[in-house]
Amino acid sequence: MKKSLLLALCCLSATGFAQKFEGLALTPPMGWNSWNTFANKINEAVVRETADAMVKNGMRDAGYTYIVIDDTWSLPARDANGNLVADPAKFPSGMKALADYLHSLGFKFGIYSDAGTKTCGGYPGSWGHEFQDARTFASWGVDYLKYDWCNTGTANAKDAYLRIRDALYTAGRPVVLSMCEWGTAKPWEWAGDIAHLWRTTGDIYDSYDGVKGWERGWKKILDLQYSLVENSQGPDGIAKYAGPGHWNDPDMMEVGSPGLTFAEARAHFSMWCMIAAPLMAGNDVRHMTEEIRAVLTDKEALAISQDPAGKEGYRVLAEPAKSREVWVRELGNGDLAVAVLNTGSVAADIEVDWEYFGWVMKGETYQIRDVWAKKAAGDTKKAFVSHIDSHGVTLLRLSKVALAAK
């Protein structure tokens, strides 16, 4: 019986019958992940309190619907039948009850595993147990799987992620698959039919441009993502691999974490919106300032992030000597989103000459809306100047004058 089932599953995968679940993550997924703040201290109480807070503070209604439990949630070993078991000291009600609670509040439930023999934290990985674990996750009501790449030896990344994709599809419950392979095998080139999002770099931490071992500040992560392929500064770079159902993922957000100034946090959020990155909050949302809550739930910024056309933004100008970078994102209704970064160590007046956008504006005049200032800011007939804090951003939405007048 077991031999027949194994043969059937192998044949299913080999014939291409299995696939990733379509119709999911048509815009960049939004939610919260436990790792940045809690790491191995995660438990059921924290998850429930986080969900309750996200209802009260408006994050759920703003679109943050995935609550993802990261590494260290399980016991250190599988049970006698080879099943993963949630640590009863951390999750006394069990994962099914916790998922039911999250679902009752309108959230989706996410969990973590690893393609290797052990997770990055040393807990059981899914290598050799992919179909078994997928059935377990389906029985718990899992909607999202973050799948890491530790302890994989000489395994082929594409083969390993195909196995978990096929296993999830065979289990029958639609699951968003988040590949956390760190970009080592250039997943943007091959993962579109396997996963809904894939990591492009190593891990983030709450810094602007710092380096701490394997971790990088958010600006370092942003720069790394845009140095991965040729022509990376334009739409033919890594941006061309992103779109509805398949996203480049520069890691979770550190918005609201203690290592960033407010200007850096708002710039970080703005840039993740600009590049169509998944918006997975990593701060302690139970205890955050009103300023940070307002940033995370801003309707105009989120409209850029969640634009249904799914075009990733890209850098059009980088001038370190003038402490400025300019980024553009083409939106589905013909509008443009523009981000102006002050990369310098002091506040400065930053100018944008719209001639840099000639190929995308095509001679049209656009009205300018300052997203964070919440006001009109003239039009593109003359250069735009904004006073921007160190490591801060001005986020703009441009609309064609003829369209805006209707």
User: End-to-end alpha-carbon separation of the chain, Å?
Assistant: 67
Task: Give the Cα separation of 397 and 50 in Å (integer).
Answer: 32
Active-site entry in 143, 203, 298, 307: 203
Quick one: which of 387, 293, 294, 403 has its CA closest to 347? 387
Residue type at 352 in one-letter notation: V
125 and 151 in contact (C-beta within 8 Å)?
A: yes
The active-site residue, picked from 148, 249, 251, 284, is: 148
Distances (CA, A) of 317 to 323, 354, 385: 11, 11, 15
Q: Is 203 a catalytic residue?
A: yes
Give the alpha-carbon dihedral of 202, 240, 26, 170, to 10 degrees.
Answer: -70
Q: Please identify every residue annotated as catalytic.
A: 148, 203
